[in-house]
Amino acid sequence: MSINADDETSKLLRYGASENEKSLGTRNNVPPHKGYGARHTLAVLAFLGCFNTYAMRFNLSVAMVAMTNHTDIRSDSNLTTGSECSSMNQTKKAVNQAPEFDWDEATQGFILSSFFYGYVVTQIPGGWLAGRFGGKQLFGLSVLIPGILTLLTPLVTKLGPAALIVTRVLEGLAGGLTFPALASMLGQWVPEMERTIIPMFIFAGCSLGNTVCLPIVGYLSTSESMGGWPSGFYIFGGLACVWYLFWQFLVHNTPAQHPTISKAERDYIQSTTGATTAVKTSSKDYIVPWRAILTSSAVWAVVVLNFTASWGYFVTLTSLPTYMNKIQKYDIAQDGLFVALPDLVNLILGLITSWISDYLRQKGYLSTVAVRKLTTLIGLSAAAVVLPFITLAGCNHVVVVVLIVAGNGMLGVSWTGLGSNIYDIGHNYAGTLSGISNFFGNIPGIIAPYAVGLITNNQETMARWEIVFYISINICIYLDLSRFSYLAKDQNSLGTGFPKKRHTIPKLRSNNYNLTVLNLH
């Protein structure tokens, strides 16, 4: 007996999405749940979790300047720098910190990138584990474990760079679970018409974490009375441990598992997400359609654009403090403040854009596809255009800061489209898709700091930093052009449910509800 391929595909998808399809047929009859609900508690705590995650992840970028550059900290208003930029004529306090670390730029770059060696390893396994067991415990541990290790960092650092590198790798291994676990939960919790504003609000915690953390660490690093650079690790590590207690008691994997959620809110969420069951705990009930995922141009579009955006983001977060201190001659306290400004603008623009995006979709002015295209194109293009002008600005301190803030801030616009696409196409597989995307998207976190360290090793000059910026420009242009030429030529979506048989693999298909990933050309 012959089997029609299209009929078989439809059957396979129905195996996993029958409950969802049933709810989709009546979702317009389910009124939106208004007011504060369980999903908002999840959003607030996830926001704070992301805040802690990024505060711990990048505080070393500013602290590193204080840990390794005491001669610059003790400079006075008469300091001159030869052919490079003049100082900001700020009198800098002497800070008698111990120990002082004599690490060259290459070693510093390797230390800064070591977090991401562990981070990329657990991305894809994290997505699978979150899909099978739920994201609550994984996300909680992804904040708690780095919190404990952050508390230990000042002690570990005294043992030498190797011990610090191992600690950062371990932080990365735990941190790699963060976004796959969170994506899996949001795929279950976020209604269709809130898939821009709620994820963007949560991920705004990342930007706010940097905005708050970096100036504080910069100030603490120059304050002997506050304990110097180690105090930043104690503060943010401790906050992560406190946060974990609230997460454990107030958050649940799915609406079906939440003991106090209202029926109205549960029905509203389930009407558009299909999250009608508890998390599956048997490998027979949760099968990832790997072939469908890995052969999807939609998925690879997200991967390429994530890599592109992440390169510029990680150059800014990990290497910019050194650039502002060594080239533009900002002191450490100013360093942390100005490095935090891009994330503040990123946060503001991202929240504004996410609100506008959902408004346009809810009113029917633009489709989800069009909104995703527009925001991603505007954000990435603007960020790429700004980069060459940073080098042209030379030693004009104000212009350099404005350009860096504008360029990195525009990434917040792109993330509203790029980040939300995971939930548009993934649903119950959002954790796995997030893991794949973040695996490739965080490779720049490994390469960029180490590459910057090699380029500027013992040669902290404007010419060397121009090389850094032009490499970033070429990466953005080349990958964006490559993506325009062949990626995401169809409009596909993954099925939303759990296959019933181990041998079945849902294929990608188009439908009227599950909208497509980016298609910018």
The overall pTM is greater than 0.95: no
Torsions phi, psi of 493, nearest 5? -145, 145
Q: Which tens digits make up the pLDDT trace of 125-158? A: 887 788 778 889 999 999 999 999 999 999 999 8
d(CA 282, CA 306): 32
CA dist list (Å): 136 to 49, 266, 280, 520: 12, 18, 14, 34
- Residue 69, number of CB atoms within 10 A of its CB: 18
* Whether 322 contacts 464, CB under 8 Å: no
Residue 319 carries which DSSP code?
I
Amino acid present at 270: Q
Using an 8 Å Cβ cutoff, are 397 and 331 in contact? no
Residue 135 contacts by C-beta under 8 Å, 6 or more apart in sequence? 180, 181, 182, 183, 184, 185, 253, 431
8 Å CB contact between 126 and 135 = no
Q: In this structure, are residues 27 and 272 in contact, taking their beta carbons and an 8 Å threshold?
A: yes
**Burial class of 245 by CB neighbour count within 10 A (0 to 12, 13 to 18, 19+):** exposed
Residue 394 identity? G
Query: Domain 14-19+36-77+104-486, what architecture?
Result: Up-down Bundle (1.20)
Contact call for residues 90 and 405 (beta carbons, < 8 A): no
Amino acid letter at 438? N
pLDDT above 90 coverage of the chain, percent: 13
Please report the DSSP string for 7-45 in residue order. Answer: HHHHHHHHHHHHHHHHHHHHGGGSPPPPSS-HHHHHHHH
Residue 292, SS3 per DSSP: helix
Residue 194 DSSP symbol: G
CA-based radius of gyration for the chain: 23
Q: Average pLDDT per run of 10 along the chain, which is 521 residues long?
A: 35 34 44 72 94 88 74 38 52 46 80 87 83 86 95 91 93 90 84 78 84 82 78 92 94 86 82 56 61 79 78 71 72 64 79 82 78 76 75 78 80 70 66 78 79 76 78 67 44 43 37 30 32
Residue-level pLDDT at 172: 92
